[in-house]
Structure 1
Amino acid sequence: MNFGIAAKLGLLLAVVGMLAAGITGFYAYTVSRNLLIDSAKGELLTATQVLARRIVLAREEGVRNLQILARHPATLAALQGAGHAREDELAALFRLFMETNPAYFQIRLIAADDDGMERVRLDRDGGRLLRITGEELQEKGHYPYVFDTLKLAAGQVYMSRISINDERGSHAALGQPAVQYAVPVMDAHGVARGVVVTNADVGGFFALLAKDLPQDVQLFLTNRRGDYLVHPDPALTFGFDKGRRTLVQDEFPDTRPLVEGYSAQVVTEARDGRYASRPTVAAFIALRPEVTTEESRVILGLAQPLQAVLEQADALGSVTLQIVLGLCLAGIPVAAVLAGAITRPINDLSVAVERFSDDGHKAKLPLERQDEIGLLARSFGRLRNQIRQQLAELHESRLELEHLAQHDTLTGLPNRALFDDRVNVAVATARREDARFALLFIDLDRFKPINDNLGHAAGDLVLRGVAGRILDIIRESDTAARIGGDEFVILLRNVHGREDAASVAQKLAHAIGQPFEAGGRTVSVSASVGIALYPEDGTDVTTLSKHADRAMYRAKEQARA
Structure 2
Amino acid sequence: MKVWAQGIAVKLGLLLAAVGVLAAGLTGFYAYEASRDMLVNTAKQELLTSTRVLSRRIAVSREEISRHLLVMSSHPAAVQALLKPGDLAAADQVATLFAQFMGANPAYFQLRLISANDYGLERVRVDRRDGSLQRVQGPDLQEKGHYDYVADTLKLAAGETYLSRISINHERGANAGQDKPTLQLAMPVRVAGNADNNAAAALGLVVVNLDLNGMFSMLKADLPPSYQVFLANGEGDILIHPDAQKTFGFDRGQRQLIQDEMPRLTELISDASIQAVFEASEGAHALEPIVAAFIVHDIRVRSSDGRMVLGLAQPLDDVLGRTRELALSTLQIVAVLCLLCLLLAIGLARAFTRPINAVSAAAQRFALGLPAGALPLTRKDEIGSLARNFAQMQEQIKEQLADLMRKQEALEHLAQHDMLTGLPNRRLLEDRLDTACAHARRHGGRVCVLFIDLDRFKQLNDRFGHDAGDAVLKIVAGRLLGMMREADTVARLGGDEFVVLLDSQTQMEHVAAIAEKLLACLTAPIAYEGHQLQLGASIGIGRFPEDGQTRAEIMAKADKAMYEAKAVGQGGVRFYSPSQV
* TM more than 0.5: yes
Report matched runs for 1:384-463 at 5 Å. Answer: 384-431=394-441, 432=443, 434-443=445-454, 445-447=456-458, 450=461, 456-463=466-473
- 1:178 is the counterpart of 2:191: no
Matches of 1:162 and 1:322, distance apart in 2: 54
Name the aligned partner's letter for residue 357 of structure 2. Answer: N
- Partner AA of 1:58 in structure 2: S
The residue aligned with 1:509 is: 522
Q: Distance in 2 between matches of 1:264 and 1:115?
A: 42
> Could you give the per-residue CA deviations for residues 309-336 of structure 1, whole angstroms, max 9, x where no partner exists?
1111111111111222222223333322
Shift of residue 78 of structure 1? 4.5
CA distance in 2 between counterparts of 1:436 and 1:277 reads 52
Deviations 1:67-117 (A, max 9, x none): 454455655554444972655555555455445444333333323232122
Check conservation: 2:290, 2:314, Cα contact below 8 A.
yes
Distance of 1:213 and 1:506 partners within structure 2? 41
1:38 corresponding residue in structure 2: 41
1:114 aligns with 2:118: yes
Separation in 1, partners of 2:209, 2:473: 28
Give the letter aligned to residue 438 of structure 1: V
Q: 1:185 to 1:276 in 2, by over 3 A?
A: closer
> How far apart are 1:135 and its partner, in Å?
3.3
Q: Which residue of 2 aligns with 1:157?
A: 161
Instruction: Tell me, in whole angstroms, the C-alpha distance in 2 between the residues paired with 1:182 and 1:113.
Output: 17
- Structure 1 residues 417 and 311 mapped into 2: Cα distance closer, same or farther (>3 Å)? same
Deviation at 1:530, TM superposition (A): 2.4
RMSD over equivalenced CA pairs, Å = 3.2
Mapped to 2, the partners of 1:360 and 1:553 lie a distance apart of: 59
Q: Equivalents in 2 of 1:282, 1:436: separation in Å?
A: 42
- For each residue in 1:200-229, what CA deviation from the matched residue of structure 2 results, as whole angstroms up to 9, or x when unmatched? 222211111122111111212222233332
**Contact 1:444–1:487, Cα closer than 8 Å, also in 2:** no
Superposed counterparts of 1:165-314, under 5 Å: 165-186=169-190, 188=194, 189=196, 190-193=199-202, 194-272=204-282, 278-314=288-324
Deviation at 1:9, TM superposition (A): 1.3
Distance 1:466 1:234, change over 3 A: farther
Following superposition, the deviation at residue 265 of structure 1 comes to 1.9
Corresponding pairs, count:
556
TM-score by length of 2: 0.85
Is the contact between residue 185 and residue 192 of structure 1 (CA under 8 Å) also seen in structure 2?
Answer: no
Corresponding residue of 2:513:
500
Change (3 A) 1:114 1:83: closer
* Alpha-carbon distance between aligned partners in 2 of 1:495 and 1:516, rounded to the nearest angstrom: 37
Q: Which runs of 5+ in 1 are unaligned?
A: none
Cα displacement string for residues 507-558 of structure 1 (whole angstroms, at most 9, x for unaligned residues): 34224x41323xxx74736243222131454443223322332343345452
Q: Flag the 1:560–1:425 CA change in 2: closer, same or farther, 3 A.
A: closer
> Does residue 33 of structure 2 align to residue 23 of structure 1?
no
1:56 aligns with 2:26: no
Give the alignment partner of residue 482 of structure 1, picking from 484, 492, 496: 492
C-alpha distance 128-277 of structure 1, shift in aligned 2 (>3 A)? closer
Is 2:476–2:522's contact at 8 Å kept on the other side of the alignment? no
2:317 and 2:520 map into 1 onto residues whose CA distance is 56
Residues 29-50 of structure 1 deviation map (CA, whole Å, 9 limit, x = unaligned): 1111111111111211111111
2: distance between equivalents of 1:471 and 1:248? 47
Relative distance call for 1:553 and 1:277 in structure 2 (3 A) is closer
CA distance in 2, matches of 1:449, 1:200: 30
Contact 2:455 2:570 in 1 (8 A): no
Counterpart position of 1:531:
540
Match of 1:148?
A: 152
CA 1:555/1:136 → structure 2, altered by over 3 Å: closer, same or farther? farther
Distance in 2 (alpha carbons) for counterparts of 1:275 and 1:389: 37
Aligned equivalent of 2:551, options 519, 541, 549: 541
Counterpart among 481, 504, 507 of residue 471 in structure 1: 481
Q: Whole-Å Cα distance in 1 between the matches of residues 556 and 77 of structure 2?
A: 20
Query: Among residues 352, 357, 362, which one is paired with 1:352 in the alignment?
Result: 362
Aligned to 1:329: 339
Are the aligned partners of 1:9 and 1:339 in contact in 2 as well (CA < 8 Å)?
yes
Selected match of 2:50 from 47, 51, 54? 47
Measure the CA separation in 1 of the matches of 2:147 and 2:287: 46
The answer for unaligned runs of 5 or more in structure 2 is 573-581
The answer on whether the counterparts of 1:331 and 1:372 sit within 8 Å (CA) in structure 2 is no
Are the counterparts in 1 of residues 23 and 357 from structure 2 also a CA contact under 8 Å? Answer: no
Partners of 1:550 and 1:478 in 2: CA distance: 22
Cα deviation digits, residues 208-262 of structure 1 (max 9, x gap): 1122111111212222233332223334433332444433234333323333333
* Farther-moved stretch of structure 1 (155-164 vs 62-71): 62-71
Please identify, of 281-290 and 32-41, the stretch whose mean Cα deviation from structure 2 is larger: 281-290
The one-character-per-residue Cα deviations of 1:270-303 (angstroms, maximum 9, x if unpaired) are: 3358997942222222212212222232221212
Q: What is the SS of the residue equivalent to 2:118?
A: coil
Contact kept? 2:536, 2:570, Cα under 8 Å: no
SS at match of 2:367: coil
* More moved, 32-41 vs 490-499: 490-499
> 1-side partners of 2:450 and 2:85: how far apart?
37
> For residues 527 and 311 of structure 1, do their structure 2 counterparts lie closer, same or farther at Cα, with a shift above 3 Å needed?
farther
Instruction: State the shift of 1:142 in Å.
Output: 0.7
Worse-superposed segment, 261-270 or 320-329: 261-270
Look up the match of 2:578.
none
Match of 2:575 in 1: none
Conserved? CA contact 2:455–2:571, under 8 Å? no
Find the residue that maps to 1:148 and give its secondary structure: helix
Partner Cα distance (2:284, 2:218) in 1: 26
